[in-house]
Structure 1
Amino acid sequence: MESLLVVLTWLSALGCALVAGVFFAFSAFVMRALAQRPAPEAIATMQAINVVVVQSAFIAVFVGTTATSAFLVLMAVLKSGDSRAPWWLAGGLLYVAGTFVLTIARNVPLNDALARCDPPSAKAVDLWSRYLKEWTWWNHVRAAASLAATAAFVQALK
């Protein structure tokens, strides 16, 4: 069991770091580049990204890290006397709540609304303005939560 906990902590740390990197890239330059394009073009591009992302290896990392993080939260509760337990709990809650749940609650509904619009329409252009601000704000939060979770899991490995 001890070896499994070490492996799962490593996998969680690496998964959180990969996800944080993807979210950071979107916050640092992808969304900024899309904001510089005409709205219909940016909308069509983001619609394509949202289709491709769910068919990519990113989803396996995103969901797999949720599973390992949730398991480590359970282990933190069951092994509360273990010196790693507070780090497992912090890392797991940061990732599950601040990344996975936040994605489902905030970013996915915005993506779904964008998917239903016709890029050249006036309604879509209005939606894009709101989408760009809100989606990017929540993405900043997801990036920070994923990075903080990475740090907690790394601390658990000491």
Structure 2
Amino acid sequence: MNMTLVLWIVLAAAAIGSGLVAGIFFAFSTFIMTSFARIPAEQGIAAMNSINVTIVRSPFMLLFVPTAVLCLVIAAFAFFNWREGISVWMLAGAVLYIFASFLSTIVFNVPMNDALAKVGGGGAEATALWASYLKDWAWWNHVRTIASLLASMAFVRALMLI
């Protein structure tokens, strides 16, 4: 198979993957978390904990993780086969997705999810954690949303330069 065709396929898959991930994160940033903030803390915690259990067993993981792997491949290709213009866009997309979307999820959002899973029911502790969770988790989700969207755009720009 021609290397240009392989690169085109990998970039297209990464553009689609990071764009779809951005859309999922966008939904959380724009209406899901806002909706959860409008209901009692006990119900919001239960709903978010349910999502957190479900998402790791869902097709989302077949999108989120392989896109990160594609980004590693793209970064390596860009670095070892440096071509002005296209390599910059390839690296930009890969770095945005790997660091600001994938790794920020692991470093920030997942630990907050784990802490939320440990509080049950209502009470002052759960309510306080929920208030903090809504603000902090959403902020990091905004970062992931923007990074995933920008990564997708960078991959599309790289495709235009092939």
TM-score w.r.t. length of structure 2 = 0.95
Number of matched pairs: 158
Identity %: 45
Please report how far the alpha carbon of residue 120 of structure 1 lies from its aligned counterpart in structure 2 after TM superposition.
1.6
- Supply the AA of the counterpart residue of 2:108: R
Q: Which consecutive unaligned segments of at least 5 residues does structure 2 have?
A: none
Q: Which consecutive unaligned segments of at least 5 residues does structure 1 have?
A: none
Please report how far the alpha carbon of residue 82 of structure 1 lies from its aligned counterpart in structure 2 after TM superposition.
5.2
Conservation of the 8 A alpha-carbon contact between 1:119 and 1:125: no
Return the match for 1:58 from 57, 60, 80.
Answer: 60
Cross-structure match for 1:128: 130
Cross-structure match for 2:30: 28
TM-score w.r.t. length of structure 1 = 0.98
Cross-structure match for 1:119: 121
Cross-structure match for 1:106: 108
What is the RMSD computed on CA atoms of the aligned residues?
0.8
Residue deviations 1:75-119 (CA, integer Å, cap 9, x gap): 110111254211110000000001001000100000000011112
- Supply the AA of the counterpart residue of 1:17: G
| In 1, Cα distance between equivalents of 2:106 and 2:6 | 29
Residue deviations 1:109-144 (CA, integer Å, cap 9, x gap): 000000111122321111000000000000000000
| In 1, Cα distance between equivalents of 2:84 and 2:50 | 45
Residue deviations 1:35-67 (CA, integer Å, cap 9, x gap): 000000000000000000001000110001000
